Structures are given as C-alpha cells and as structure tokens.
C-alpha cells in the first residue's frame, strides 16, 4: 500500500504541480575559487518571506547526487525553497564526484568557511531565514559551523545520517579498506607540516575513498588527526537552536548514531529514525525523509 500511495503521489505531482523556479548560481569565495549552487524556489515562494534550506552534501560528493537531488525536488513539493551547493574541495567551479586522480589539498574544515560564505550570500540576496541541512560528512560540517559561528540567519538545522567518529572506528575503517593502518603515514605527514612542508604533495597515499592518491600533508593531517569535533553528536551541546537528527534504520555507515544520540540528548534536539532506509535514503525512504524534514520545519 505504501508503494502504491507513493506512486500515486508522484503521478499527482507530475500532473498538477507548477514548474520549479531553478537557477544555477555561482559564488566567488574569499580564497579566489568559485563555488556552484542550485537555487530552487517553490511555487509562489520567496527568499525574503519564506526563507530557504541550504543543503550540504557528503564526502567528496556534490549537489546533484541522488539523495540531494531527490530532496531538492521533494522539499520543493512541500513548499520549501532549497539552495544545494557544491563544496569546492579546493577546485574552481567543481561539479560531480571528486576525481580521485586529482591532487587532494582540501580539508574537512574548509567547509566551515564556505558554508559561512553561502550564508552571507543568502543574506545579501534578502533571505529571511535559513535551515542548514547536511548529509553524512555534510551533517558534521553544518553542525560544526553552527557550533563555532552560529550565523544569525540560521534558525534551525537538520542533520541527515550525520558523520560519527571515534579514533578506533576510523582506524578500523582504514584497515578494512586498505589492509593497513594510517598511523605511520599520519606521523610522516605531521612531521612535514611541522617542517613547513604541509602544502607539498605526496604520491601513492591511501586517502578517504581514494587509493594511491596525490595528497598534501596538510590535507592528510586535517582528515586523520584525532578530533572529537568530527563526531557530530558531541557538537550538539554547543548548539542552542532547534536541531533534527535523522537516522536510517539500515544504515551501516553510521550504525552507531542511535547509540551516540541516546548519550547526547538535550531539549532542543529531536531524533527520528526512518525505517527501511539505508545511508542514502533511496526510493521510498526519500519521501519519508522529506516528510520528517517538512514536519520539523512546520510546512506540513
């Protein structure tokens, strides 16, 4: 019955919904790079009166990947404006998945500055309010931004299967993927940073999802040095605005999220689980996710 209702709903939207006002936008960042975004206003809505969702993707991903593009459409149908952006990851006008063959000089923390720049851009455009939404690593990055900077335009946050972290988990993940530990490489890269050679590229480095990549010492140290801020639930105590954390029942990427949320409860944080969903919230789980977001934002 759920699938039938979903298909009927999609058919109804295709027949009766008005065209979405979509605009591809560019933002010149302080570091000289240009970031790309897709701004989609729901029918009859404006930035000033109705605010906007600012959506940040996950690791090495982009604004047009399946989960983001699905939520852009579904949230628009729920009368929410959406700006989905590409983090540059050190590349000018970056689009699509990050190519592992390219040099990696980007840092996890770069996102905080870029999110801030997009918020200032939205403020200049007259946006009345912003809801920050991030998926996976993007969930950690928007939470990190709010914990450290708390932009006055941001009214609430939605963290979708946000990144969890522990040193033991990171070591086990790296070991499983590359059949070795990252400790010796991290020590080597830390020494290079200390010697003032952090920007130098190092070849044949196993990095995130990219085997044998060309990676700067600065980048490797940033991603792999132990830091509890990489664990999204631990950031929540520094956030005072309303937050919705959404887990997926079948998520194997952040399977420890429910347990960590149980230990990090607070009055301004709501926690829900979407059943029959994996980390990417595909198919019917997309609708359920959009419903949870819309309900939290009061648009349903």
One domain for residues 37 and 176 = no
pLDDT at position 6 is 38
Mean pLDDT, to the nearest integer, of 246-254? 98
Structural domain harbouring 192: 166-226
User: Which H or E element spans position 3?
Assistant: helix 2-16
Per-residue burial over 203-221, b = 16 or more CB atoms within 10 Å of its CB, e = otherwise? eebbbbebeebbbbbbbbb
Q: Kindly state whether residues 88 and 197 are assigned to the same domain.
A: no
Distance, C-alpha 64 to centroid of its chain: 13
- Mean residue pLDDT of the chain comes to 93
Average pLDDT in the 55-59 region? 98
Q: Are residues 29 and 114 in the same domain?
A: yes
Q: What is the DSSP string of 196-234?
A: T-TTSEEEEEEETTEEEEEEEHHHHHHHHS--GGGSHHH
Query: Residue 40 is part of a domain; what is its CATH number?
Result: 3.40.50.1820
User: What's the token pair of residue 256?
Assistant: 């420890």
What pLDDT score was predicted for residue 1? Answer: 37
Task: Please choose, from the candidates 15, 33, 35, 17, the residue with its C-alpha nearest in 3D space to the C-alpha of residue 25.
Answer: 35
Query: Which of 226, 252, 272 is the last residue before a domain boundary?
Result: 226
Higher pLDDT pick, 62 / 12 = 62
Please report the pLDDT score of residue 39 as a whole number.
Answer: 98
Question: Do both 71 and 179 map to the same domain?
Answer: no
What total of structural domains would you count in the chain? 2
Name the domain boundary from 206, 226, 246.
226
Separation between Cα atoms, residue 10 and residue 256, nearest integer Å: 33
Is there a single domain that holds both residue 160 and residue 266? yes
Q: Name the band, by pLDDT with cuts 50, 70 and 90, for residue 14.
A: very low
Report whether pLDDT(300) > 70: no
77-125: pLDDT as tens digits = 999 999 999 999 999 999 999 999 999 999 999 999 999 999 999 999 9
- What's the pLDDT at 22? 75
Say whether both 267 and 219 belong to one domain. Answer: no
Q: Are residues 57 and 178 in the same domain?
A: no
**pLDDT at residue 21 in the model:** 54
Same domain, 158 and 174: no
| Token pair listed for 266 | 């607070």
Looking at 210, 226, 242, the residue that finishes a domain is: 226
Q: What are the backbone dihedrals phi and psi of residue 197, each rounded to the nearest 5 degrees, phi first?
A: -110, 30
Q: Are residues 146 and 247 in the same domain?
A: yes
pLDDT higher at 279 or 18 = 279
Are 30 and 116 members of one domain?
yes
pLDDT digits (tens, 9 = 90+) for 21-48: 579 999 999 999 999 999 999 999 999 9
Which residues lie across from 104 on neighbouring strands?
A: 215
Count Cβ atoms within 10 A of the Cβ of residue 255 and give its class: 0-12 exposed, 13-18 middle, 19 or more buried.
middle
Mean pLDDT across the stretch 175-198? 98
Residues 215 and 258 in one domain: no
Q: For Cα atoms 105, 225, 58, give the angle at the middle one, nearest 5 degrees.
A: 60
Rounded distance between C-alpha atoms, residue 205 and residue 140, angstroms: 24
Indicate the DSSP class of residue 20.
P
Q: Which pLDDT value is given to residue 206?
A: 98
Instruction: Provide the whole-model pTM.
Output: 0.92
How far is Cα 236 from Cα 113, in angstroms, rounded to an integer?
19
- The confidence score (pLDDT) of residue 299 equals 60
Q: How far is CA 152 from the centre of its chain?
A: 20
Task: Based on the fold, state whether residues 47 and 134 are members of the same structural domain.
Answer: yes
* DSSP secondary structure string for all residues of 96-164: SSPPTTS-B---TTHHHHHHHHHHHHHHHTT-S-EEEEEETHHHHHHHHHHHHT--TTEEEEEEES---
């Amino acid at each position: 019955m759920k699938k039938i209702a979903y298909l009927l709903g999609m058919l109804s939207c295709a027949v009766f919904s008005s065209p979405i006002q979509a605009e591809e936008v560019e933002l010149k960042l302080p570091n000289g790079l240009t970031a790309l975004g897709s701004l989609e206003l729901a029918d009859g809505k404006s930035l000033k009166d109705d605010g906007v969702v600012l959506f940040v993707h996950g690791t090495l991903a982009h604004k047009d990947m399946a989960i983001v593009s699905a939520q852009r459409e579904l949230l628009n149908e729920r009368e929410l404006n959406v700006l989905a952006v590409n983090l540059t990851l050190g590349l000018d006008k970056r689009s699509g998945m990050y190519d592992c063959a390219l040099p990696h000089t980007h840092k996890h923390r770069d996102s905080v500055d870029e999110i801030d720049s997009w918020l200032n851009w939205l403020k200049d455009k007259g946006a009345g309010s912003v809801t920050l939404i991030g998926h996976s690593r993007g969930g950690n990055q928007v939470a990190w931004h709010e914990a450290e900077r708390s932009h006055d335009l941001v009214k609430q946050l939605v963290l979708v299967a946000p990144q969890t972290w522990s040193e033991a988990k990171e070591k086990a993940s790296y070991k499983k993927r590359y059949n070795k530990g990252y400790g010796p490489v991290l020590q080597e890269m830390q020494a290079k940073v200390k010697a003032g050679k952090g920007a130098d590229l190092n070849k044949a480095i196993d990095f995130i999802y990219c085997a044998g990549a060309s990676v700067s010492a600065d980048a490797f140290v940033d991603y792999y040095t132990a830091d509890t801020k990489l664990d999204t639930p631990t950031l929540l105590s520094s956030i005072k605005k309303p937050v919705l954390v959404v887990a997926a029942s079948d998520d194997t990427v952040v399977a420890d999220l429910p347990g960590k949320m149980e230990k990090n409860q607070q009055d301004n944080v709501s926690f829900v689980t979407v059943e029959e969903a994996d980390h990417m919230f595909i198919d019917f789980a997309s609708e359920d996710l959009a419903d949870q977001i819309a309900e939290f934002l009061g648009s349903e």
